[in-house]
Amino acid sequence: MKKLILATAIAASFVSTVARAEDAKPDNEFSFNAAVVSDYRYRGLTQTRFDPALQVGADYTHNPTGLYAGTWLTNIKWIKDAGAVASPPVNTKGDIEWDIYGGKRGDIGGGFTYDVGGLYYYYPGNTLADSGAKNANTFELYGQVGYGPGYFKYSQSLTNLFGAANSKYSQYFDLGANIETYYGVILGLHVGHQNVRGNPNQFSYTDWKIGVSKTFDDLAGITLGLAYVGTDLKDGVTTTPASDGLKNVGKNGFVFSLSKTF
């Protein structure tokens, strides 16, 4: 049961976007984004019980320095699910994930780029602790190195990770690439490994994604995406509530997205 709570508790997210380079940018740049996804997956695990999610965000970038800050919100169901699969079941609350982040990005030289910062995952009013876990709110530091379309990113939690007890300093490794192909289609490739610390609750798994996306200028700049995502988690290790058919929250599946940046 501890594994069920732990695996269900691993949650949160960004909407991955591929930015277009411009010849000149203003010193201060604001942008807003909105998306609808058929299933909100984070690190391979569904956060919405395989149901759709509505997601909105805002970003600020100070281009001369590379400093940036942003916020992002989405609906979720995983906190309620953690309570439903607890023994005995409890009524846990927490329907919203609110991410607040900031950092600095720039060029290292020789074609390499960097991105370092911190990310706070806030779940307003969450009662995940009622399920036997800890508070869901989580803070991570991250560092990324990129070259061309490829990147490697490392994240480490400075708090318990999404409610998993004794999981401070848990790590996530992310390797991927966003490759421009024909007709403006972007091929997105990703493989990641989540290591959740804690004794005796040590837990780890691998996730992956293969996706394509395309921005349609004739459709008001809307971006359509389709991705196949999955994990190496087995049935029975992670699950949704029994009332929903005991599904593996990390099972392989397709995710459709429709998004726009303003």
- Give the pLDDT confidence score for residue 20 in this predicted structure: 29
The tens place of each residue's pLDDT in the chain, 262 residues long, gives 334 444 444 443 333 333 323 334 567 899 999 999 999 999 999 999 999 999 999 999 999 999 999 999 999 999 999 998 888 889 999 999 999 999 999 999 999 999 999 999 999 999 999 998 999 999 999 999 999 999 999 999 999 999 999 999 999 999 999 999 999 999 999 999 999 998 556 789 999 999 999 999 999 999 999 999 999 998 767 777 767 777 889 999 999 999 999 9
- Give the pLDDT confidence score for residue 234 in this predicted structure: 83
251 touches 238 (CB < 8 A)? no
Number of domains in the chain: 1
Cis peptide before 64 (omega within 30 of 0): no
CATH code of the domain in which 145 resides = 2.40.160.40
Q: Determine the structural domain holding residue 91 and report its residue range.
A: 2-261
The dihedrals phi and psi of 22, each to the nearest 5 degrees, come to: -125, 155
Q: How far apart, in whole angstroms, are the C-alpha atoms of residue 153 and residue 241?
A: 33
- Give the pLDDT confidence score for residue 15 in this predicted structure: 38
Cis peptide before 88 (omega within 30 of 0): yes
- Give the pLDDT confidence score for residue 238 in this predicted structure: 75
Q: What sign has the CA pseudo-torsion 146, 20, 209, 206? A: positive
Q: How far apart, in whole angstroms, are the C-alpha atoms of residue 28 and residue 190?
A: 31
* Sequence-separated (6 or more) residues with CB below 8 Å from residue 42: 10, 11, 12, 13
- Give the pLDDT confidence score for residue 118 in this predicted structure: 98
- Give the pLDDT confidence score for residue 75 in this predicted structure: 98
